[in-house]
Structure 1
């Protein structure tokens, strides 16, 4: 479900929020009001998997990107059909071993995995997909 901003999401979801390590603000669009008011896309299954991934990874996950409004997605060079336009996340690699982070994402049920130099893209698409961002192939070889 799409909410216009994190405040509206917090009001609507406050009694059912069960994800202690993540907030609507960090998963909301980061366009800074240039295109939207910080839209938030709520998906309980995605958040359950994110909490599971955090547990499997053995520590905090720093999200560098969550939901993106269409304007922000275009502005940052996102794919026209980007999963970020609904719900996806990019997780900072720093502080994690790449193989463990990838194992945690797989184990938590993420099926869209984009392997980059400084982040791991995760989403939950129907048909599994894995891709390398330019220049990252050798970093992820196990």
Structure 2
């Protein structure tokens, strides 16, 4: 469900203690939208479970993106960031453990970068390397 302004989102009953609507909303800083937020409880359940497995904070570099911000940052035209996807910083994490746990929790879109892991829940599984990141994922 798209919320056009994260400030309008009623967070009463919010059950995901390690994440906030604001950190998952568009990060364009009001340049192109009023802070769009895509509320997806199943996605958040999986993200919270991943956080529990990680045993430490998951830093969200990018969550939902409004159309213009997605284009501005070079996102794919049909990027799932336009609905709900996250790029999680790999700092302080074992990238292989995080990837395996993400798969266990039903994340099916897995983008492997040098400094972050892209996660989404697309209907058909996909895994890809961002340019120049393959060597950082070798075991």
TM-score class normalised by the smaller sequence: over 0.9
C-alpha contact (below 8 Å) 1:112/1:130 kept by paired residues: yes
- Give the Å deviation of 1:55: 1.0
Poorly superposed stretches of 4+, deviation over 4 Å? none
Q: Distance in 1 between matches of 2:5 and 2:57?
A: 24
Match of 1:87 among 84, 87, 91: 84
Q: Distance in 1 between matches of 2:88 and 2:101?
A: 12
The yes-or-no answer on 1:61 pairing with 2:43 is no
Deviations 1:21-47 (CA, angstroms, capped at 9, x unpaired): 000000000111111001000000000
How many pairs does the alignment contain?
A: 139
Match of 2:93 in 1: 96
- Give the Å deviation of 1:77: 0.3
SS in 1 for 2:98: helix
Cα-Cα RMSD? 0.8
Unmatched 5+ stretches in structure 1: none
Unmatched 5+ stretches in structure 2: none
Q: What is the TM-score of this pair, normalised by structure 2?
A: 0.97
Q: What is the TM-score of this pair, normalised by structure 1?
A: 0.95
Q: Distance in 2 between matches of 1:37 and 1:122?
A: 24
